[in-house]
Amino acid sequence: MEQFKSCGLAVPAGIGTPEQALSEYEFRLLRDHIHEYCGIFFDDGKLTSLASKLSFRMRLLDIRSYGEYYAHLKYTPRYKEEMEDLIPHLTNNETYFFREMNQLGFFVGELAGRIKAEKAARGDRRLRILSCGCSSGEEAFTLAILLEEAGHYLRDWEVEITGIDIDRKVLERAAAGSYNSYSLRATDRSMIDRYFDKDGERYVLKPRIRERVAFRRGNLLEPASLSGLKGVDAIFCRNVFIYFSDDAIRRIAENFHGALSDDGYLMLGHSESLTRVTDIFYPRRFPGVIVYAKKES
């Protein structure tokens, strides 16, 4: 409450009573602030869910009302750090190796070869791939494994895979490359034996696969998160947009459009779509798989 007063905000009636429930008014303030920051949108039915997610940080900070926490998020000198500390409580980091294998298999078995043939004809032997919303790295490392299996690293090809996520905690896990069996629930035993070393109950990726992926922190809503990443051949952004508003998806699609080469492809999760959100990408349908291209075919 003190922070509310000290930042000069008029305190609306009913806000700030210690230990009160999240009111509709506070819910809208907080969810709009979160949405503006990272694109994640809590719709009107998610008041209880947001209240519980915020309460973890509030307890740690000994903040008793949601109004006070809103002021803390917005106006204290460490508001940026607070948002970063809050993010892990808001995001869903669910992921596993070899997830949605249809699309990964199609990319590695078909698209990557086509892209490489076109690039090789121009004397360019570099393949650049992004895993956006990479969580703890399983998608990016699956790509590195599949590309190795298919021989895409051979014959002087430079393959760059970059994983980007807004959540520092998951990126620390990605950098460690150490997983439990749940992350490997869709992985064949033979692949586990070839690409992981057992360390007690954990499975640690072989160093050569770890070295093939770079991770960086970035907020996909900010164009700067993709800075230095021009001419990308493929962007995987799967199971990220399901939590976002259409407006945020549109803005992120524009950022991807700028980072992708003219012949590049965008891959979304099976329940996600850009149709009805933006027409800067065109869906291209292959058996069992949809990918998005910058140009109409």
Ligand X SMILES: C[S@@+](CC[C@H](N)C(=O)[O-])C[C@H]1O[C@@H](n2cnc3c(N)ncnc32)[C@H](O)[C@@H]1O
Residues that bind ligand X (CB under 6 A): 38-40, 91-95, 99, 133-135, 139, 165-167, 170, 218-221, 238-240, 269
Helix, strand or coil for residue 160? strand
- For the bound state, the minimum distance from the C-beta of residue 186 to ligand X, rounded and expressed in Å, comes to 11
C-alpha span between 213 and 78 (Å, rounded): 31
Cβ distance to ligand X smaller for residue 21 or 186:
186
Tell me the HSE value of 183 on the side-chain side, using a 13 A CA sphere: 23
- For the bound state, the minimum distance from the C-beta of residue 92 to ligand X, rounded and expressed in Å, comes to 5
List 291's β-bridge partners, or say none.
284
Cβ distance to ligand X smaller for residue 23 or 136:
136
Classify the C-alpha dihedral 80-242-176-89 as positive or negative: positive
Cβ distance to ligand X smaller for residue 64 or 257:
257
C-alpha span between 11 and 185 (Å, rounded): 50
Phi, psi of 213 (to 5 degrees): -125, 135
Tell me the HSE value of 240 on the side-chain side, using a 13 A CA sphere: 26
Phi, psi of 293 (to 5 degrees): -120, 160
- For the bound state, the minimum distance from the C-beta of residue 2 to ligand X, rounded and expressed in Å, comes to 31
Please, what is the Cα angle at 83 between 60 and 272, to 5 degrees?
120
Q: What is the pairing mode between strands 126-132 and 158-165?
A: parallel
Cβ distance to ligand X smaller for residue 26 or 100:
100
Q: Which residues contact 282 (CB under 8 A, 6 or more apart)?
A: 292, 293, 294, 295, 296, 297
- For the bound state, the minimum distance from the C-beta of residue 143 to ligand X, rounded and expressed in Å, comes to 11
C-alpha span between 259 and 209 (Å, rounded): 25
DSSP 20: P
- For the bound state, the minimum distance from the C-beta of residue 219 to ligand X, rounded and expressed in Å, comes to 5
Cβ distance to ligand X smaller for residue 240 or 289:
240
Cβ distance to ligand X smaller for residue 47 or 104:
104
Residue in 151, 152, 146 with CA at minimum distance from that of residue 195? 146
Cβ distance to ligand X smaller for residue 124 or 272:
272
Question: 137: which 2 tokens?
Answer: 């790295």
Cross-sheet strand order for the sheet of 178-179: 178-179, 202-205, 196-199
- For the bound state, the minimum distance from the C-beta of residue 281 to ligand X, rounded and expressed in Å, comes to 18
- For the bound state, the minimum distance from the C-beta of residue 88 to ligand X, rounded and expressed in Å, comes to 8
| Residue of closest CB approach to ligand X | 133
Cβ distance to ligand X smaller for residue 15 or 144:
144
- For the bound state, the minimum distance from the C-beta of residue 239 to ligand X, rounded and expressed in Å, comes to 4
